[in-house]
């Protein structure tokens, strides 16, 4: 089994912020972000949809998968489980289940030896 590589450092691309973007950020910040994303060629629909879902969630728990596969489950409000499993060098969404879930362990990530983290965190 190949060892998964850490996250790749993203290239920083310089973007000139024009007067319209500055104005939008002052009067309508959400539209300012959308405008810059459009200029950068970024499709923000996944971010917007995720925000719509997660902004309504009161509690998020994470559990490692226990079926012998490399993966994890994200539990939303103790009722919805989102399943992710390793697919080569990344994780892929595998589906969801509805039910009653117990509370997770908030120290789960304390046991991970982080050698390289995302540059924006």
Domain that holds residue 107: 59-112
Q: CA-CA-CA-CA torsion for 60, 62, 67, 70, nearest 10 degrees?
A: 130
Find out whether 70 and 85 touch, Cβ atoms under 8 Å: yes
Statement to judge: residues 68 and 97 lie in one domain: yes
76-117 per-position pLDDT tens digit: 999 999 999 999 999 999 999 999 999 988 887 787 776 666
Statement to judge: residues 85 and 98 lie in one domain: yes
pTM of the model: 0.64
Statement to judge: residues 49 and 23 lie in one domain: yes
Statement to judge: residues 108 and 73 lie in one domain: yes
22-65 per-position pLDDT tens digit: 999 999 998 998 898 888 888 878 888 998 999 999 999 999 88
């Amino acid at each position: 089994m190949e060892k998964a590589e850490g996250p790749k450092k993203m290239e920083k691309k310089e973007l000139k912020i024009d007067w319209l973007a500055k104005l939008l950020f002052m009067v309508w910040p959400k539209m300012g972000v959308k405008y810059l994303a459009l200029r950068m060629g970024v499709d923000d629909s996944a971010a917007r949809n995720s925000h719509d879902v997660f902004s309504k969630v009161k509690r998020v728990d994470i559990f490692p998968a226990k079926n012998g596969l490399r993966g994890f489950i994200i539990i939303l409000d103790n009722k919805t489980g989102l399943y992710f499993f390793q697919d080569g060098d990344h994780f892929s969404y595998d589906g969801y289940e509805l039910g009653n879930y117990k509370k997770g362990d908030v120290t789960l990530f304390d046991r991970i030896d982080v050698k390289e983290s995302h540059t924006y965190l």
